[in-house]
């Protein structure tokens, strides 16, 4: 007969829920995994899962708000003498740098996010937050409003750089992510460099 556990129940983290969900989504497909499946695999109730994530679509993104705060911090701490293009390139690379031991897990997460048709509309809302951070930085550096064409175009361009680099990285596992990101940025870097003039 199993003994009852003594003490507090192990606490749940958004990171744990996301890891469990990504494994399920990768193995069975996003559409074939329910919120109940994720909750059960994470050892929590459906209600607890919804305390951490508002929807199934939000789960693969993890705690993206924390990542956006990190990106904002990276850009806020750029020396004003650093050219705009270089600042954006450096921030893009730093934002997407993680421990080598996380490579397989990150690749799996990005496969789910980028290659799941059901997630594309939701992902656009997440990209909007990312673009807002980039546009805000460009607007401050160029003395414009965030909603002006120049900051918005730069933000959309940076999103295209990141997404094309990730697609390349997912398709060719021999290419390190920083290399894919740097090469993708360099395609448009000259245009972004001209924003300082």
Same domain, 22 and 117: no
How would residue 120 be classed by pLDDT, with cut points 50, 70 and 90? Answer: very high
More confident position, 9 or 12: 12
Q: Return mean pLDDT, the chain.
A: 93
Q: What CA–CA distance (Å, rounded) separates 165 from 144?
A: 28
Same domain, 54 and 68: no
* Contacts of residue 191, Cβ cutoff 8 Å, sequence gap at least 6: 157
pLDDT digits (tens, 9 = 90+) for 143-176: 999 999 999 999 999 999 999 999 999 999 999 9
Same domain, 81 and 161: yes
Same domain, 126 and 178: yes
Same domain, 139 and 157: yes
Same domain, 26 and 75: no
Same domain, 163 and 123: yes
Same domain, 43 and 71: no
CATH number of the domain residue 38 falls in: 1.10.10.60
How would residue 10 be classed by pLDDT, with cut points 50, 70 and 90? Answer: low
In a domain, 95, yes or no: yes
Size (the chain), residues: 197
Q: Is 66 exposed, middle or buried (0-12, 13-18, 19+ CB in 10 A)?
A: exposed
Same domain, 126 and 49: no
In a domain, 7, yes or no: no
Same domain, 34 and 112: no
Which pLDDT belongs to residue 8?
42
Same domain, 88 and 145: yes
**37: containing domain:** 14-59
pTM of the model: 0.89
Q: What CA–CA distance (Å, rounded) separates 124 from 158?
A: 14
More confident position, 59 or 189: 59
Which pLDDT belongs to residue 7?
42
Q: What CA–CA distance (Å, rounded) separates 157 from 112?
A: 23
Same domain, 129 and 172: yes
In a domain, 5, yes or no: no
In a domain, 8, yes or no: no
């Amino acid at each position: 007969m199993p003994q009852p556990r003594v003490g507090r129940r192990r606490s749940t983290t958004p990171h744990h829920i996301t890891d469990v969900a990504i494994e399920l989504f990768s193995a069975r497909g996003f559409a074939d995994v329910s919120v109940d499946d994720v909750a059960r695999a994470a050892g929590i109730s459906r209600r607890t899962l919804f305390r951490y994530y508002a929807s199934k679509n939000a789960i693969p993104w993890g705690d993206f708000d924390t990542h956006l705060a990190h990106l904002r911090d990276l850009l806020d701490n750029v020396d004003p003498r650093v050219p705009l293009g270089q600042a954006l390139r450096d921030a893009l690379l730093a934002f997407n740098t993680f421990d080598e031991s996380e490579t397989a897990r990150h690749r799996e997460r990005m496969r789910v996010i980028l290659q799941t048709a059901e997630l594309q509309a939701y992902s656009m809302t997440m990209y909007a937050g990312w673009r807002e951070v980039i546009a805000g930085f460009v607007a401050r550096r160029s003395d414009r409003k965030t909603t002006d064409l120049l900051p918005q175009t730069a933000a959309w361009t940076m999103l295209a750089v990141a997404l094309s680099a990730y697609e390349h990285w997912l398709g060719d596992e021999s290419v390190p992510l920083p290399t894919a990101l740097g090469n993708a940025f360099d395609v448009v870097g000259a245009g972004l460099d001209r924003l300082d003039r």
